Structure 1
């Protein structure tokens, strides 16, 4: 089985480059329209409508935009937790208190991230979430998510599993990033649903 690891990871790297290139070709107008539609679609989810705490993230670059969604959740009275990247690529969490609570941090070799400046709650805080919104580059028909390769959210999913926590796992993507099949490794975990600007798709199990 171990011999399958490198080819699978190589295939993932190739796919990542393709999806990132497609994102980078989107115009600013297309990204803005997609972000507005994505927020409307996500806010219709029953999992978010009944959530008291949502772990989310601030989109950067050409990612499907999340700021509108974050503000709408906060306006509902939802407690929103946002990640803070740790030196080992694990994630700490802190509360979102509006756009002014965010600070831009530049990491060596990584894109600049907008992170919450408030009190850090520890990596285990994500286990309190009723729903977790995950970034990604694609998802397939089984609900398997293709991330950027840093492993941060693989750790989050493992932490949730270890704690016996069962939040709704939702990935936010563009329409073209829902595909038939993606390479899978032993540590990969499926999500429950994907939200794109035009639809919500749920996955069995």
Structure 2
């Protein structure tokens, strides 16, 4: 299946999830991630502020922040690359491009993600054999992941059924080391 049709299929499946399922999935993902020692020890975490039927990150971002991590969230630039700014609590967010909530803190630049000890990214699917992630098609997170060191844990958050065999890929597509679903954490590459 090509990327466009796979994206359509996955987005349709996500929109069929009930608010109760989305809440239950978010709790499972958050609790499982927060149990990992490498998550607990991460001083600087790059994450994202979820929207719509994406695996919800609001509680995760808040919990990481409350546990003492510095959390940076992306700001979408005009060239579709990602700038980063520090999250300093729920009152420090404002709608950005496309209405996605972004930190109002000083922009740290596209290279800020290089200093993260943990990087959590959105994905529509991840290939269980290769770790290739399928995003929404803008390439923003592929660019960000290209800046992350090889030993930094990179985690894609997914709903059950989105860790699949056979994600179509192109040379610019990046891998993640872990896939996190409500069913559990999977080490990939």
> TM-score when scaled to structure 1?
0.88
Q: Segments of 4+ in structure 1 off by > 4 A?
A: none
1:122-133 matches, within 5 Å, as 122-133=109-120
Ranges in structure 2 where 5+ consecutive residues have no aligned partner: none
Q: Distance in 1 between matches of 2:62 and 2:146?
A: 28
Q: Which residue of 2 aligns with 1:30?
A: 21
Q: Which residue of 2 aligns with 1:5?
A: none
1:88-103 matches, within 5 Å, as 88-103=79-94
- Over residues 162-193 of structure 1, what are the superposed CA-to-partner deviations in whole Å (9 max), with x where a residue is unaligned? xx564211100011101112111111221110
Q: Which has the larger radius of gyration?
A: 1
Are the aligned partners of 1:41 and 1:196 in contact in 2 as well (CA < 8 Å)? Answer: no
- Superposed CA RMSD in Å reads 1.3
Which structure shows the bigger proportion of residues in helix conformation? 1
How much has 1:106 moved relative to structure 2? 4.2
1:75-154 matches, within 5 Å, as 75-107=66-98, 112-141=99-128, 142-154=130-142
> TM-score when scaled to structure 2?
0.95
Q: Which residue of 2 aligns with 1:6?
A: none
1:5-20 matches, within 5 Å, as 11-20=2-11
Equivalent residues, number = 188
Ranges in structure 1 where 5+ consecutive residues have no aligned partner: 1-9
